[in-house]
A and B are shown apart, each in its own frame.
Chain A
Amino acid sequence: MSTPVPPQPPARPRLGVFKFASCDGCQLTLLDCEDELLGIAAELEIAHFLEASSEPAPGPYDLVLVEGSVSTPEHVERIRRIRADARHLVTIGACATAGGVQALRNYADVDGYLATVYARPEYIETLATSTPISAHVPVDFELRGCPIDRGQLVEVITAFLAGRKPAIPNHSVCFSCKRRGNVCVTVAHGTPCLGPVTHAGCGALCPTYGRGCYGCFGPAGTTNLPALVPLMQRDGMSEEDVGRYLHTFNVTAFTAVEEQELPGTTDGEGLG
C-alpha cells in the first residue's frame, strides 16, 4: 500500500495476472472491461493470464496483478517466485489484500473445518491460515474490494502506464454516498451500516439499493469503530451480530482495526 508506482514504464510493458485462493472474480473484472479490453491489450502485452489465454509466457513482467490469498505451502513458494519476476506487483481484491473470506479459518480450528468438509482430511494439503500477499512479499499497491471495482482497476492500469500513483481515495463509503446524493440509511431508517468505517470504491452500492454496507472493501484509512459499534447496537444488532458483520469478507483487516481501537474486545476466538 506504500510505494507509488514509479514513472516511465517501457513502451509496451508486459502484464502478468496470477491467481491464489479465490473465486476468480477480481481477474474476471479485467475481462468485464468490455469497453477497455482491446485498448488495454494494445497498450500492454498480456503475457500471462491463464483465465484468458492458453499461451502463458514466462517473466519477467512489468506489472503483475495478483488475485487470491496464500493458503497452501505451495502458495508460499509460488508468490516468492512471482515477486522475483515482477517489476511492480499489485494485489487485487479482498483475498489478496486481507486473506479473503477463507481467512475465517484463521480464527477457527482448521482440523475441525477439514473434518466438516472432507471425509478423508489427510488427503488435503492446506495451511491453518489464509494470509494476504503482503504477509509474504513486498507489494507495490493494494486494490481493495470483494470484488474490486472495474473503474478502479482501469485507474490502476492507467496510472501504471502513465507512471504515476493510482488516484484511489482512502476515505470511507460515506463520502461516496454523499456524492451520490443518497439518503443515509442509518439516519433515515435505522439500518445498521458499515459505511462509516469501510473503504470507498464500490460507489456506495448497498446504501443506494437500500441496504447497509457490509464492508466488502475492508477498513477505510481512518475509522472510528468505538463510535460506530454502539450505533449498530442501537439499531438492533447484538454484539455477536456486529462481530459477524465485521468478520466476513475482510476478516483480518477489520480484526486488525478492532485490536487497535477496541482493546480487549477481540480475543480472536469463535468468530463466525
Chain B
Amino acid sequence: MSDSTPRSQELRIPSLARVEGETALHLRIHDGTVIEARLKIYEPPRFFEAFLRGRAHTEPPDLTSRICGICPVAYQMSACRAIEDACGVVVDGQLAALRRLLYCGEWIESQTLHIHMLHAPDFLGEDDVIGLSRLHLEHVRRGLRLKQAGNAVVELLGGRAIHPVNVRLGGFHRAPTRAELRPLEERLRTALDDAWDTVRWVAGFEFPDAECDADLLALAETGTYAIESGVPTVLPYSATSPPYSFPLRDFTDHVAEEQVAHSTALHSRLDGRRHLTGSLARWAVSGRLLSPLALQAAREAGLGDPPSHAGAGRGGEVCRNPYRSILVRAVEVLYAVEEALRIIAEYERPARPYAEVPARAGTGHGATEAPRGLLYHRYTFDGGGRVTDACIVPPTAQNQGAIEEDLRRLVQAGLDRGEGSEAELTRLCERAVRNHDPCISCSAHFLELDIERIH
C-alpha cells in the first residue's frame, strides 16, 4: 500500500462511520498537491431498476422504499408522483396536505438523526452520540425527543417509521380522522421549542471556513418551501450565470449519469458541471419561502437572509460552506414542525383516502426533496400497467462529484497547513463527507481512505 518513492504514501481508513452506507476514498497526492480525490462507493448492487421491470404499476412505492431505511418516505413520494404523472392523475387537496405532513415527519426525524447523532459529534470532539450524552445529556435528550416527534408523525400516518405501509398511489390506504391527529399536536408543540433550542445549540458550534464550488440544484414550488413537489431549479456557481429552471420531464437531459470504474454509484453532472443538492441548495433556491419563524431562526443562527429571488436575480446570502449545512438542517426541522402543526390544524378528513390511479401506457416523472437532496424517479409502463423501464437518481449519487471536490480542497488546505498525518487527514475527510449527510445505501458502507502520494 505504499509507493516506493519517498514522497509517496497511501493511507487507508478502514471504515467511514456515522454515515448511512459503505464507501471508500482514494487520494492521490503528488509532492504535497492533491491530484485527485475519488469517493469509491461500493455498496453491493441491489438491482432495483432491473427487478422493477415487469412489476405492476402499484408496486414501486413499496419496493423502492427498501432502497433506503433512512428516507423511505422520500422514495415512496417520488415513486407515487412519477407513476401518477404517467397515469395522468394529480393528487391535491387534503390528500396532498397529508402527504406533505408525512414528509414533514420524515424531515424532522431524519434531519434530527443527522444533526444530533451523526454530525454534532464532529463539532464537539466526540465519537458518537453515546459519548455526546456524557457531556451534553440535555442536548441528546432533546434530540431523541425531537426525533421521536418526527417518528410519531410517520408512524401515525404511515403505520411505522421505517418503510411505512399506508402510502399508496393516489394517496393513502386509510386517512386519519381529525381526532386521531390531535395527540400529535401536543408533541409537535414541544418539538417546536426543541427545534428552536436545536438551532441555537448548533449556531454555537465552530465552523471552519470552506466553500463548495458547485452549482446548486433543488426543487422550487410556487408560494411554498418545496418538499414533496416542484420544478428543478439551478443556482449556478458562476456569479455571471443566472439561475434557471427546466421541466422535470427533461431531468435526465440535464442531469446525466455516467458510470465510473471506482464506484457502484453512478456519477452525475448537471449540464456538464458539478452540482450539489440538499439543504444548502434548498436554502439558496427556496429559502425566502420559509416561514417568518424559520427565517428568524436562520438569522439568529447567522445564516442571514436567503437569496431574494432564485428565479430572477440575486441578493441575500447563499451559504456554500458545507460545515454550516447543519444550521440549514436545524432551520428546516423547525420549519417542518411548524408545517406539520399547520397542516394538522387545517385538516379535514377527505371523503376518500385516495384518488383512483388507473394504469395506462406511458412514461412519468417524479421528484421530491429527500432530506439529503433531490430524488428523481422515472417509470415507463406498457398498456397492461407493467413497468418496462425504471430510472432512479438519488441525491447522494448526484452529490458525489461535489463531495470529491470538497475533499480535494480540504485535504489540500490541510496539507498546506502541515496537517499531513494519517490521523489528521482521516478526520478531515470523514468530516467532509459527513457534512453532506450522504445516504450511501441509496447507492453503499465502508469508507476506506486510501491515500497515494506519488512522485
Binding site for B on A (CB under 8 A): 19-29, 31-32, 34-35, 37-38, 41, 46, 49-56, 71-72, 75, 100-102, 104-105, 108, 110, 112-114, 116-120, 123-124, 126, 130, 146-147, 149, 202, 205-206, 208-211, 214, 216, 241, 244, 248-249, 272
Q: Does B178 contact A (CB under 8 A)?
A: no
Among A26, A28, A75: residue with most chain B CB under 10 A:
A28
- Pick from B50, B63, B72: contact of A25, CB under 8 Å: B72
B259→A119 contact, CB < 8 A: yes
- Pick from B47, B72, B173, B174: contact of A113, CB under 8 Å: B47
A83 vs chain B, min Cβ distance (A)? 18
Q: Does B415 contact A (CB under 8 A)?
A: no
- CB-defined contacts of B49 to chain A, threshold 8 Å: 116-117
A196 vs chain B, min Cβ distance (A)? 17
In chain B between 11 and 33, which residues have their CB closer than 8 angstroms to a CB of chain A? 14-22
- CB-defined contacts of A24 to chain B, threshold 8 Å: 20-21, 68-70, 441, 445
A205→B163 contact, CB < 8 A: no
Known: A19-B22, A105-B47, A113-B47. 6 other contacts (CB 8 A): A35-B144, A55-B127, A101-B51, A105-B50, A123-B259, A248-B62
Q: Does B341 contact A (CB under 8 A)?
A: no
A102→B46 contact, CB < 8 A: yes
Q: Which 5 A-B pairs have the closest CB atoms?
A: A25-B69, A53-B128, A54-B17, A55-B127, A113-B50
A53→B163 contact, CB < 8 A: no
A52→B173 contact, CB < 8 A: no
- CB-defined contacts of A71 to chain B, threshold 8 Å: 44-46
B177 vs chain A, min Cβ distance (A)? 13
- CB-defined contacts of B413 to chain A, threshold 8 Å: none
Q: Does B147 contact A (CB under 8 A)?
A: yes
A50→B165 contact, CB < 8 A: no
A4 vs chain B, min Cβ distance (A)? 27
- CB-defined contacts of A25 to chain B, threshold 8 Å: 66, 68-70, 72, 162-163
The residue on A at minimum CB distance from B65 is A23
Q: Does B168 contact A (CB under 8 A)?
A: yes
B66→A53 contact, CB < 8 A: no
**A210 and B62 alpha carbons, distance in the complex (Å):** 16
A51→B18 contact, CB < 8 A: yes
- CB-defined contacts of B127 to chain A, threshold 8 Å: 53-55
**A202 and B264 alpha carbons, distance in the complex (Å):** 33
In chain B between 296 and 338, which residues have their CB closer than 8 angstroms to a CB of chain A? none
The residue on B at minimum CB distance from A208 is B159
Binding site for A on B (CB under 8 A): 14-22, 43-51, 53-56, 59, 62-63, 66-70, 72, 113, 117-118, 121, 127-131, 133, 140, 144-145, 147-148, 151, 159-163, 165-166, 168, 172-174, 258-261, 264, 266, 353, 430, 441, 445
B225 vs chain A, min Cβ distance (A)? 26
- CB-defined contacts of B441 to chain A, threshold 8 Å: 22-24
B261 vs chain A, min Cβ distance (A)? 5
- CB-defined contacts of B72 to chain A, threshold 8 Å: 23, 25
A120→B259 contact, CB < 8 A: yes
B160→A202 contact, CB < 8 A: yes
B70→A54 contact, CB < 8 A: no
The residue on A at minimum CB distance from B144 is A34
The residue on B at minimum CB distance from A205 is B159
B267 vs chain A, min Cβ distance (A)? 11
**A22 and B53 alpha carbons, distance in the complex (Å):** 20
Q: Supply 30 A–B pairs (Cβ within 8 Å), ascending by A.
A: A19-B22, A22-B441, A25-B70, A28-B69, A29-B162, A31-B113, A32-B151, A38-B130, A38-B133, A38-B144, A50-B16, A51-B19, A52-B128, A53-B17, A53-B128, A53-B131, A54-B430, A55-B17, A71-B44, A105-B51, A120-B261, A123-B260, A130-B46, A146-B163, A147-B69, A209-B166, A211-B166, A214-B62, A214-B165, A244-B55
- CB-defined contacts of B51 to chain A, threshold 8 Å: 101, 104-105, 108, 113, 272
A72→B53 contact, CB < 8 A: no
A41→B68 contact, CB < 8 A: no
- Pick from B45, B67, B159: contact of A118, CB under 8 Å: B45
